[in-house]
A and B are shown apart, each in its own frame.
Chain A
Amino acid sequence: MRKALRVCCLLLAGLLLILTVSAAMAEEPVYGGILRWREINDPPKLDPAIATDTVSSRNIYLMFDMLVDNDPDGKGIIPRLAESWEGSDGGKVWTFHLRKGVHFHKENLGQPTENGGREVKAADWKYSMERLVKVNSPRAYFIDMVKGYQDFVDGKTADWVGIKAVDDYTLRFELDYPFAPFLSVLAYNSFMVVPREDAEKWGKDFNFHPVGTGAFILERWDHDQKTVYKRNPDYWKRDAQGRQLPYLDGVEIFVIPDNTIAYEEFKKGNIDAFPDFPDEFYLEAKVRFGDLLQERPWLGTYYYGFNTSKPPFKDNKTLRQAMNYAVDRKRINDLVLEGRYYPGRGVLPPGMPGYNPDLKGYEYNPELAKKMMADAGYPDGIEVELNVNNNPRHKAVAEAIQAQLAELGIKLNVKVLDWGVHLDLCERAETEMFRMGWVVDYADPDNFLYVLLHSSNFGAKGNYAYYKNEKADELMAAARVETDFDKRVELYREAERIIVDDAPWIFLFHYTTSLLGQERVKNLRLPAFGDYTTPLEAVWIAK
């Protein structure tokens, strides 16, 4: 008996100790305060159905929710408005069990909303998905394997038959074929729930009256200045202690086009969070702000594509490989990009499921490159045009690579183009070489390999290099419908090996994402999916 009491006392004391220590380590969050976040331009779209850029997404993440979300460290899919789900029928049917007690915003821009703050039901999800098709969402086709997509698009059916509200809290998707990355696709920020009443009231103008379920409510949109959000008091999420989120009173997203000015504003304390931190101030900020400047690998790849449908790169693998050997990725990264990127060896970025750490890639080897240039039929070098879209970082990299290739007698003529023109030329295969980057939509190798390098995706759908290898095609197509994860990884690795050997790109770098926050801003955590997805509902500001 006495022994038992002693054990009890000891346990209690230990518990107390743990509690005090953890309380001292993690300060108690406080409510209140406005977080001021910097963006480079005005968000073009606040309607999740039609937004495709990161600035819009930053805003949209504040106001809307998906069914499922990406784990902040890129380790799979986590629940959001769906509490749980299961796949059946060999991956052809997906059933989601919805969270109860999630409500749409009660107000918007200071006015009461049409929906009046009612609860989200499965029928809202069906409506929201169908709305994507109705408003010509550029991302609706991400889920074109959901049964009845084409018929619904063509207007042959009144609804999208593959999506069913089984009951108020159960939603079911039926697919035409087993599509392994389906769950990851639903974490993409177009697949968010919107209230029918408000969406129908505003029609196209829903873009200016966005109503969702998110932690923040749009209060004001001063174009080219800022978007102003206030706290959603009825937000569904609570912290570990059961307290209502979000802690912040509001968020303001400021538009400051110039990086130099934005950094000065940050140093003055006029902004609290500075995402996608520019290279030129990186070293200084590292010293000055230490860990407040967060940086982590981003699921993205930076490459120079060869147009493999036209000479000189058509049917000349040796030339493409030679140019891969001719670029000193490590030193460009160190000297021009402040060592912020990762030299690339293949297509998939580190952190991506299926990433192959043993891939050899192309080490810088000017002698070998020179020899291979001769083997490729260009002993005296070659003159090539490189198209680059208008962005300071891309221009900086291009100037460095230009100088390195010049050492091998390769004359690279850089053409800096508007993004629209750049895309257009790449899609129509009217380039010789082009800069391109790819950042994950959904964390699955499919989103890189199949999208960017499968021959069914020539042009606009992602394969700008017009690369085709039948064996690789087969492997990637097989991996799409394979449901066993390990088998899929094996297929993707095999495909990537073939692709790297074929060298349809110069595999250059893998991106990092970064975010600089003020010291008083707590709980600001940069996720693997990029700065613009940083959740703000649990962020708080120390007094």
Chain B
Amino acid sequence: MTAEKKPKTSGASLRYEAWLRFRRNRLAMAGLVMAVTVILGAIFASSLAPYDPFKQLIWTEGRAVRLAAPSAEHIMGTDLYGRDILSRVLFGARISLQIGIFATVVSLFIGVPLGALAGYRGGFTDDFISWIINVIFAFPFFLFVLAVVAVFQNPSMSVVYVAIGLVNWVAIARVVRAQFISLRDREFVEAARALGLPTWRIIFIHILPNALAPVIVQATLGMGSIIMIEAGLAFLGFGAQPPTPSWGLMISEGQKYLGLGKWWWAIFPGMAITYTVLAFNFLGDGLRDALDVRLKR
């Protein structure tokens, strides 16, 4: 709605303006910095990690390294098998980001074309796609993901992100559809149509770039909830397979020992999740304010 008020400016300066707005937002900047640290941690996990995240030290060093409290050698302590928790948390960033990114990619691959088609075409196409979207929205989200995970016989990381993607795409599709509805009758689209360009070209080359901002915001905010869903799945014993250093799996294994005061196995991965989700939420919020988009939640 504010789009009309804005004077027509070139894309580059619009982006610059957005960046300025983003920089003024302290929480957004904090989110950006936090997200960058997570990404760096994931990329450089193998050089940052003090130990091999899979190495079970109990077989060589015995009970002393079993569920050992944080110390100089093991900053975040060790788990039941004497694995270094810090190393596992660092490698866990890879897993979480991997799931977050791939599930988002799956959602985008399904959500963007379907949302675009629905918004652009309207009529029966829109009714049909909207019906699918509404059906999936009416499902209890977590239960649906759980059921989709159960359908696959081969549990693995790819199953988790495909399952989440198969459910999560509707949020993207909704945003894209709304954008396309508001853009499809604008002059530049009419012009493209008048030139006789094929529909897919109009959709992807002409309209989509103008509809990207809310998609980016939705996708960023989605990252956080995807990471949380993975943790919830792991808590119930679905999803990542041992010995994958998934944060969710670590919490579900480690939470058994919380009652004994051996808090480090569950608390550090939990903090890692909170930190990462926080980063993406700050970032998403900041982007939303900076790009000035309104999302229907």
- What is the interface of chain A, defined by CB distance below 8 A to chain B? 259-260, 263-264, 278, 280-281, 284, 328, 331, 335-336, 390-392, 395-396, 398-400, 402-404, 413-418, 421, 425
Contacts and interface: CB of A to CB of B under 8 A. Distances in A.
B256 A335 contact: no
A391 B253 CA distance: 11
Nearest to A417: B155
Contacts of A278: 256
Given A395-B242, A416-B242, A263 B80 contact: no
Contact of A392 (B63, B238, B256, B259): B256
Nearest to B66: A335
Interface in B238-278: 238, 241-243, 252-253, 255-260
B59 A336 contact: no
B30 interface: no
Main SS of the interface on chain A? helix
B153 A284 contact: no
Contacts of A280: 256-257, 259-260
Contacts of B59: 328, 331, 335, 403-404
A421 B63 CA distance: 36
B56 A259 contact: no
Contact of B241 (A259, A264, A328, A414): A414
A265 B153 CA distance: 37
B150 A418 contact: yes
B58 interface: yes
Contacts of B56: 399-400, 403
Nearest to B58: A335
B242 A260 contact: no
Interface residues of B, number: 26
A392 B253 contact: yes
Nearest to B237: A390
Contact of A399 (B150, B243, B252): B243
B133 to A, nearest CB: 29
Given A402-B243, A416-B242, A421 B153 contact: yes
Interface in B148-188: 150, 153-155
Given A391-B237, A396-B253, A416-B155, 20 more contacts: A259-B256, A260-B255, A284-B260, A335-B58, A335-B62, A335-B63, A392-B237, A398-B242, A399-B243, A403-B54, A403-B56, A403-B59, A403-B81, A403-B243, A414-B241, A414-B242, A416-B241, A416-B242, A417-B153, A421-B153
Contacts of B150: 418, 421
B155 A260 contact: no
Contacts of B257: 280
A123 to B, nearest CB: 46
Contact of A260 (B81, B253, B258): B258
B81 A399 contact: yes
A415 B63 contact: no
23 contacts: A260-B255, A260-B259, A278-B256, A280-B256, A335-B59, A335-B62, A336-B81, A390-B238, A391-B237, A392-B237, A392-B252, A395-B237, A395-B253, A396-B80, A399-B242, A399-B243, A400-B81, A403-B54, A403-B59, A413-B241, A415-B241, A416-B155, A425-B153
A281 B260 contact: yes
Contacts of B241: 413-416
A281 B80 contact: no
Interface in B21-70: 54, 56, 58-59, 62-63, 66
A247 B154 CA distance: 52
A461 B253 CA distance: 33
B256 A416 contact: no
Most buried by B among A328, A391, A418: A418
Interface string B111-143: 000000000000000000000000000000000
Contacts of A413: 241
B68 to A, nearest CB: 13
Contacts of A281: 259-260
Contacts of A396: 80, 253
A336 B80 contact: yes
Interface string B217-254: 00000000000000000000110011100000000110
Nearest to A284: B260
A425 B154 CA distance: 11
A260 B63 contact: no
B151 to A, nearest CB: 10
Contacts of B58: 335
Contacts of B237: 390-392, 395, 416
A278 B237 CA distance: 17
A263 B155 contact: no
Nearest to B152: A421
A247 B257 CA distance: 37
Contacts of B54: 403
A413 B154 CA distance: 11
Contacts of A425: 153
A280 B79 CA distance: 12
Contacts of A391: 237
Nearest to B82: A335
A329 to B, nearest CB: 13
Instruction: Give 8 nearest A-B pairs by CB, closest first.
Output: A390-B237, A260-B259, A280-B256, A403-B56, A399-B242, A335-B58, A399-B243, A414-B242
A253 B121 CA distance: 59
A278 B62 CA distance: 22
B206 to A, nearest CB: 47
B154 A415 contact: yes
A414 B155 CA distance: 10
B255 A402 contact: no
A4 B73 CA distance: 82
Nearest to A418: B150
A392 B250 CA distance: 12
